[in-house]
Amino acid sequence: MKTIKLMNKIAKVGTDIFDRDIYEVSDTAENPDAIMVRSAALHEMEIPTNLKAIARCGAGVNNIPVDKCTDKGVVVFNTPGANANGVKELAVCALVLAARDVVGGIEWAKTLQGNENVAKAVEAGKGAYVGNELIGKTLGVIGLGAIGGMVANAASALGMKVIGCDPYLTPNAAWHLSPSIKQAASFEEIFKTCDYISIHVPATPQTKNMICEKTIAMMKDGVRIINLARADLVCAADIKKALLDKKVARYVTDFPTNDTVGAEGIVNIPHLGASTFESEDNCAVMAANQLVEFLANGNIKNSVNFPNVAIPQSANARVCVMHKNAPDALTSITAVFASANVNIENLANGAKGENAYTIIETASKVVDDVVNAISAINGVIRVVCY
């Protein structure tokens, strides 16, 4: 019996995927084979000895100690694209909130309670909340992945001119972009030419504070910035100064912090991007399916720390090896099978940065001596047999 520990409430449509004759699913398992998590912080958690995988029901994994997991041979999965539509729809809302002071108007309308003639007061006071229309304005989308691409397409459908930039744009993502979307040569082109800028990139050391005093200085006066990705992408102190100087007209973020809450010109949305019932269901289903495929067959899809490697199981046994991406790693692993006179029926291998993953199928069950010999190879992190 394999055990799955839930670190948050996970949508039932996802947990129902686990066959209860094979998997025990609970929030109290002490040494689970896998963990499903949404927002719970795992950095202080002692990694259980039996843990083989963590599935994040969402795209971001900043609540998971990925490096520590990698060192222990724990595969970390995420669910890219599962909540993309929910975030896209909030981005459309954020564009409107950036263009028009809807929030300020709503808060002002609340003060009219008890007024003898609310309709007359509304007509007299609504001029303070006049905004702009989106049609004809230029939107720059930084990051054209699952979410950014959908935002770009939606904005184009609203009549905006859209410029996108993504140095890592995949052919598949490019196919899904509207032909009307222009490809920018650099982020600087977006900074210099756009009326609105929407950010859809992961938080990394390279992207931290990508919106800062230096990049804001390149932008048009009155630019409106939307950040539904991560708080660290925008320097709070610099954006607040730019708002005071009227360089930035409005900043809409889905990641409120102590520095942004209550600040003039900032619309703080309480991290609602993926907070739809549909997104939660989609993420749970994708995460559960990925865990089942890995725990049952060793196949990896959508891992953030190991490469995607998957083959249909067609032999009697398979050995899956997590190892460093070294020039002689694969040769050393296959040599163990040759020395033990074990014929390899099928093999698949992939690398992701410094880490690699190899699936080897054999006609007969692999004995402990072979597993121990592979484990002893320099650079091998973990060996799992199926």
- For the chain, state the CA radius of gyration: 25
Distance CA 237, CA 339 (A): 62
CB of 37 within 8 A of CB of 67?
A: no
Question: CB 332: neighbour CB atoms within 10 A?
Answer: 17
Q: pLDDT tens digits for the chain (386 residues)?
A: 999 999 999 999 999 999 999 999 999 999 999 999 998 999 999 999 999 999 999 888 989 999 999 999 999 999 999 999 999 999 999 999 999 999 999 999 999 999 989 999 999 999 999 999 999 999 999 999 999 999 999 999 999 999 999 998 888 888 999 999 999 999 999 999 999 999 999 888 999 999 999 999 999 999 999 999 999 999 999 999 999 999 999 999 999 999 999 999 999 999 999 899 999 999 999 999 999 999 999 999 999 999 999 999 898 999 999 999 999 999 999 999 999 999 999 999 999 999 999 999 999 889 999 999 999 999 999 999 99
Q: How far is CA 129 from CA 33, 82, 261, in A?
A: 55, 36, 21
Strands (E) located in the chain: 2-6, 23-26, 34-37, 53-56, 75-77, 138-142, 161-165, 182-183, 196-199, 223-227, 248-253, 266-268, 317-324, 344-352, 355-362, 380-385
Q: What share of the chain is helix, strand, coil (3-state, %, to 5)?
A: 35, 20, 45
SS3 state at 346: strand
Two tokens at 61? 């994994």
Closest CA to 41 of 60, 20, 16: 60
Structure token pair of residue 104: 């300020």
Instruction: Name the DSSP class of 51.
Output: -
Measured CA to CA, the distance from residue 278 to residue 90 in angstroms comes to 14
Q: Which DSSP string corresponds to 224-267?
A: EEEE-S-GGGB-HHHHHHHHHTTSEEEEEESS--TTTTT-TTEE
Query: Beta strand 223-227 with 248-253: parallel, antiparallel or unpaired?
Result: parallel
Structural domains present in the chain:
1-83+276-305 (3.40.50.720), 84-97+134-268 (3.40.50.720), 306-386 (3.30.70.260)
Measured distance CA(291)–CA(314) in Å, rounded = 20
Question: Count of CB atoms within 10 A of residue 314's CB?
Answer: 9
Predicted confidence at residue 148, as pLDDT, reads 96
| Helix (H/G/I), strand (E/B), else coil: 343 | coil
The pair of three-digit structure tokens given for residue 352, joined into one six-digit string: 């992701």
Cα–Cα distance, 62 to 42 (Å, whole number): 9
CB 160 within 8 Å of CB 136 = yes
Distance CA 355, CA 181 (A): 36
Amino acid in position 215: T
Cα distance between residue 307 and residue 189, in whole Å: 33
- Other CB atoms within 10 Å distance of the CB of residue 71: 13
Phi, psi values for residue 31, rounded to 5°: -135, 70
Sheet containing strand 2-6, strands side by side: 23-26, 2-6, 34-37, 53-56, 75-77
**In terms of C-beta density within 10 A (0-12 exposed, 13-18 middle, 19 or more buried), how is residue 164 classed?**
buried
The identity of residue 241, as a single letter, is K
Q: The whole model's pTM is what?
A: 0.82
- DSSP 8-state symbol, 322: E
DSSP code, position 309 = B
pLDDT at 6: 98
